[in-house]
Structure formats: C-alpha cells, structure tokens
C-alpha cells in the first residue's frame, strides 16, 4: 500500500494526497484519474459475495502502473461493499 492519505469527497469520490482520484460514475462504472490521464473501470454486482466487484487488472501502461493498488485502497471508502478482483 501507499503512504498517501485518502479522503472521501461529498460526491463519494476518493481523492489521494498523491493526486489520483477514483470517482463512482454509476453503479457499474468508476473513473480513475491520475494527473492528466483517466480511464474507466467496470464494476458488477456479485450476489454470492454480496459485493460490487471492481475489475481492475494490472495496467501495462505507464499512465496507470498502480491502478489495482489504488482502487484496492479506495474501495473501503465507497458507499456499499466493493472488492477488487
């Protein structure tokens, strides 16, 4: 994990002191942004786990090298139960 501080915004977004933001756009979609770059991450509901699953794979792009780690640290701050798969 990172040593960054995470803060939840009034709109439910999670912001990091490192400059990245994870924003819930809808129950099925998260926008992750870091600096000037952004990407969309799919989310689905798993009745078996009673949780929303965030589909974050390790990015080979230099733009998002820590995407999975960042979303894993942000997940507990979202409303509801989210897990990174």
Q: How far is CA 76 from CA 14, 46, 54, 81, in A?
A: 10, 17, 12, 7
Residue 81 confidence (pLDDT) above 80: yes
Is the entire prediction scored with pTM above 0.75? Answer: yes
pLDDT score recorded for residue 1? 43
How confident is the model over 17-67, as pLDDT tens digits? 999 999 999 989 999 999 899 999 999 999 999 999 999 876 667 788 899
In 3D space, the residue among 56, 48, 43, 47 whose CA is nearest the CA of residue 82 turns out to be 43
Domain boundaries, the chain: 6-84
pLDDT, average across residues 76-85: 94
Q: Looking at 1-5, 9-13, 47-51, 78-82, which range is the least confident one?
A: 1-5
Planar angle of CA 6, 74, 43, nearest 5 degrees: 155
Residue 3 pLDDT greater than 90, yes or no: no
pLDDT at 80: 92
Q: What is the pLDDT of residue 76?
A: 96
């Amino acid at each position: 994990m990172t040593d960054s501080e995470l803060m939840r915004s009034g709109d439910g977004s999670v912001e990091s002191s490192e400059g990245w933001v994870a924003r819930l756009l809808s129950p099925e979609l998260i926008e992750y942004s870091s600096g000037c770059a952004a990407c969309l991450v799919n989310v689905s509901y798993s009745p078996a786990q009673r949780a929303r699953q965030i589909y974050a794979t390790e990015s080979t792009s230099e733009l998002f090298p820590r995407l999975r780690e960042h979303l894993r640290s942000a997940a507990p701050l979202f409303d509801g139960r989210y897990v990174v798969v």
